[in-house]
Amino acid sequence: MKKLLIFFAFVLVLNQAYSQTQQASQQSNVKSTVVNGPIITFDNTIQDFGIIPYNGSGKHIFVVTNTGTEPLIIYNCIKGCGCTQVDWTKTPIMPGQKGFVLATYNTKKIGEFNRGVDVYSNDTNRPKINIRLKGSVEVVPGGETPPIVVEDKKRDTTKIKKTRNGSQWITCIL
């Protein structure tokens, strides 16, 4: 019985020593993992304009910072619809430096909007990031108003026969 108790105590000590060695090994692996390469960081990814007057400014500059160790390249920015225009830094952004993505919403469309732009870069962890413009375009008292468009419809000509004291043709234009 005594030998069995000593054996279990020995196994317990070995198990404890082995688990401490594994934890130390995992911690050293975590410490030695350094993120290399470009890292894209935005100051914000959503611009909420609130209420914008009709034909007001719907532009916003999203500031991009390269927080990585290699040059960041923004390859492309794809807008979600034709009501949004986009421009961006086309040259490599060096580590620690800043660039931009300029997004412009067409404020000649009245109503609420929530439009996105997909930004593609050489950041291996996040190669695609979605940035958004949102708000509401309204007519403001004293401000510019949108033009009123009235469609010119083709008119039909119809003949109606009327009988009263004879036969007459009446042409009605609808």
Taking residues 130-151, report their average pLDDT. Answer: 78
> Residue 163 pLDDT > 80, yes or no?
no
Tell me, yes or no, whether 87 and 117 share the same domain.
Answer: yes
Tell me, yes or no, whether 90 and 61 share the same domain.
Answer: yes
CATH number at residue 98: 2.60.40.10
Tell me, yes or no, whether 3 and 47 share the same domain.
Answer: no
Tell me, yes or no, whether 89 and 67 share the same domain.
Answer: yes
> Residue 14 pLDDT > 50, yes or no?
yes
State how many domains the chain has. Answer: 2
> Residue 140 pLDDT > 90, yes or no?
no
Q: For residue 156, is it within any domain?
A: no
Q: For residue 143, is it within any domain?
A: no
Tell me, yes or no, whether 130 and 101 share the same domain.
Answer: yes
Query: Which carries the bigger pLDDT value, residue 84 or residue 156?
Result: 84
Tell me, yes or no, whether 105 and 49 share the same domain.
Answer: yes
Tell me, yes or no, whether 75 and 134 share the same domain.
Answer: yes
pLDDT at position 77: 97
What's the pLDDT band for 36 if we cut at 50, 70, 90?
A: confident
Domain membership of residue 56 as a residue range? 40-138
pLDDT at position 154: 58
Taking residues 143-158, report their average pLDDT. Answer: 60
Containing H/E element for 147?
none
Among 110, 44, 120, 114, CA closest to 84:
114
Q: For residue 5, is it within any domain?
A: yes
Q: For residue 161, is it within any domain?
A: no
From residue 83, how far is each of 42, 75, 117 by CA, in Å?
Answer: 23, 22, 11
pLDDT at position 1: 65
For 18-84, what is the HEC assignment?
Answer: HHHHHHHHHHHHHHHCCCCCCCEEECCCEEEEEEEECCCCCEEEEEEEECCCCCECEEEEEECCCCE
What's the pLDDT band for 99 if we cut at 50, 70, 90?
A: very high
Q: For residue 144, is it within any domain?
A: no
Q: What is the rounded average pLDDT for all residues in the chain?
A: 80
Taking residues 61-89, report their average pLDDT. Answer: 96
